[in-house]
């Protein structure tokens, strides 16, 4: 039976101490209304969590792609790191060797050489059979020239010098494009309004100094006027620069916004632990879908490139090289999401989760007893760790998560490293807590929760 309840009700002739005793019916109605308000509150939180969850799942793959595109377009160092392996790929080297050989051989007039040989033999009275034989030298001579050219080109393409030249050329070209798109005036290629200009000031300075060093002292009087050359004008430049600014904003803030939505989803949900599992599994599914989409895009790309334009093996190497960092980021997100879901599950009431916690607790207790038996007692530190196990576990896991957030482009290897360090730290803390004073061998051990 519910006890009578009291409530203060204002009255024109009463003081603030006047109380009203609630009847059983009034108390029952109060409890009903309060329960209905709680139900509405939980439904509202559930609805808000669902909306935030959808936003998180939609934005997760978009954030990965946006961050990858931003790094490739705006970061010269990242772009150079991306294209660096191409110079040492055999399939790409083979394409470069063949195309450069074709270009060089096409500029050599083998027919003119054979004609000159034939004319020389005729003028010197060579036998007709010899003259006729010289006319058929066109094919063998062209083949010999191609062999020599191909051997030398292959020697250059496979050398360390070419790889250094490849990196330097890509670095300079990418930096020039970035300077143009961002409006920077620090490079040779500059954007001024709708005009693309080439700053030749450095070249002028070098030429002037070389002339002076060669003895032309009057070259030092070359003026420093008009040191830029207008390459072309375009009305689309401002659109490209606006696109670059938008990419800079999206690539930087979309991942942060996605992470904030994920945190708000967990905080809004009535059951935080369950929502961590849902978010982790959902993001993992989206990462798998992104990997599938990349595989499909790879197949479409390879089918769309004619073999005469680019051999399939070289096209595959180029595609895989350019998106390898996006693949790596996606796999990292997949692993992190699954680890978050697994961690939340292990803290739940499931039979497997309880078994894992019990097993880890018994192992830590046994290790602690072993330390005490050899005379190692952790004293107040162990007692404090035993009394604050939940805080210790939470801080350790939070430190691991923070390390991954602050890590510059973490990989799956980095995630595994952080996971191992967190597990080792948790194990050490549990053993130190079990080795504290007041823990005898007959005391029942409990799992860390």
pLDDT band with cut points at 50, 70 and 90 for residue 134: low
Over residues 163-182, the mean pLDDT reads: 78
Q: Give me the sign of the Cα torsion angle 103, 107, 112, 116.
A: negative
Q: What is the pLDDT of residues 269-316, one digit of tens each?
A: 988 899 999 999 999 999 999 999 999 999 998 888 888 778 888 889
pLDDT tens readout for residues 338-393: 999 999 998 888 899 889 888 988 888 888 888 888 877 778 888 888 888 888 88
Q: What is the SS3 assignment for 437?
A: coil
* Gyration radius of the chain over CA positions: 37
Q: Residue range 381-410: average pLDDT? A: 87
Q: Where are the domains of the chain?
A: 1-64+234-346, 75-192, 195-233, 347-449
Measured CA to CA, the distance from residue 254 to residue 249 in angstroms comes to 8
Q: Which two tokens stand for residue 349?
A: 């009431």
Q: Rounded mean pLDDT of the chain?
A: 78
pLDDT at 215: 65
Any residues with CB less than 8 A from the CB of 436 and at least 6 apart, and which? 368, 377, 378, 379, 381, 382, 383, 385, 386
Check pLDDT > 80 for residue 9: no
Q: Residue 379 has what pLDDT?
A: 81
Tens-digit pLDDT profile for residues 409-441: 888 999 999 999 999 999 998 888 888 775 554
64 or 197, which is more confident: 64
Q: Per-residue confidence at 113, pLDDT binned at 50, 70, 90? A: low
Of 196-210, 254-268, 311-325, 417-431, least confident by mean pLDDT is 196-210
- The CA-to-CA distance between both ends of the chain, in Å, stands at 37
| pLDDT given at position 187 | 53
CA angle 302/308/314 to nearest 5° reads 50
Closest CA to 279 of 299, 263, 303, 296: 263
Question: If you count DSSP H runs as helices and E runs as strands, how many of each does the chain have, helices first?
Answer: 16, 5
| pTM across the whole model | 0.74
Q: 446 pLDDT band (50/70/90 cuts)?
A: very low
Average pLDDT over residues 109-137: 65
């Amino acid at each position: 039976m519910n006890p009578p309840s009291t409530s203060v009700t204002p009255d024109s002739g009463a003081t603030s101490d006047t109380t009203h005793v609630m009847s059983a019916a009034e108390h029952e109605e109060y409890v009903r209304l309060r329960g209905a308000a709680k139900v509405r509150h939980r439904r509202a939180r559930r609805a808000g969590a669902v909306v935030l969850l959808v936003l998180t799942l939609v934005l997760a793959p978009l954030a990965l792609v946006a961050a990858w595109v931003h790094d490739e377009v705006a970061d010269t160092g990242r772009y150079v790191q991306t294209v660096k392996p191409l110079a040492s790929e055999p399939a790409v080297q083979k394409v470069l060797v063949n195309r450069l050989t074709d270009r060089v051989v096409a500029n050599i007039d083998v027919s003119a050489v054979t004609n000159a040989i034939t004319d020389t033999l005729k003028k010197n009275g060579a036998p007709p059979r010899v003259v006729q034989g010289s006319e058929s030298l066109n094919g063998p001579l062209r083949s010999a020239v191609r062999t020599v050219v191909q051997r030398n080109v292959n020697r250059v393409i496979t050398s360390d010098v070419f790889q250094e030249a490849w990196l330097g050329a890509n670095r300079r070209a990418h930096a020039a494009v970035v300077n143009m798109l961002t409006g920077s005036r620090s490079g040779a290629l500059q954007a001024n309004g709708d005009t693309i200009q080439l700053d030749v000031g450095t070249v002028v300075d070098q030429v002037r100094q070389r002339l002076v060093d060669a003895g032309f002292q009057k070259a030092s009087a070359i003026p420093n006027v008009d040191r830029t050359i207008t390459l072309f004008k375009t009305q689309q430049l401002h659109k490209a620069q606006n696109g670059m600014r938008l990419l800079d904003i999206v690539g930087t803030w979309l991942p942060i916004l996605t992470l904030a939505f994920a945190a708000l989803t967990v905080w809004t949900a009535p059951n935080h632990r369950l929502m961590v599992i849902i978010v982790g599994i959902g993001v993992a599914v989206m990462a798998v879908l992104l990997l599938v989409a990349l595989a499909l895009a790879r197949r479409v790309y390879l089918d769309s490139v004619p073999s005469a334009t680019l051999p399939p093996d070289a096209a595959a190497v180029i595609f895989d090289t350019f998106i390898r960092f996006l693949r790596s980021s996606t796999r990292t997100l997949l692993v992190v999401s699954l680890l978050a879901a697994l961690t939340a599950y292990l803290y739940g009431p499931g039979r497997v989760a309880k078994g894992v916690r019990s097993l880890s607790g018994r192992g830590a207790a046994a290790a602690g007893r072993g330390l005490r038996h050899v005379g190692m007692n952790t004293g107040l530190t162990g007692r404090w760790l035993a009394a604050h196990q939940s805080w210790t576990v939470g801080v350790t896991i939070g430190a691991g998560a923070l390390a991954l957030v602050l890590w510059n482009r973490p990989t799956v290897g980095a995630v595994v490293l952080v996971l191992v360090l967190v597990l080792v730290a948790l194990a050490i803390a549990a053993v130190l807590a079990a080795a504290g004073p007041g823990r005898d061998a007959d005391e029942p051990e409990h799992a860390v929760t």
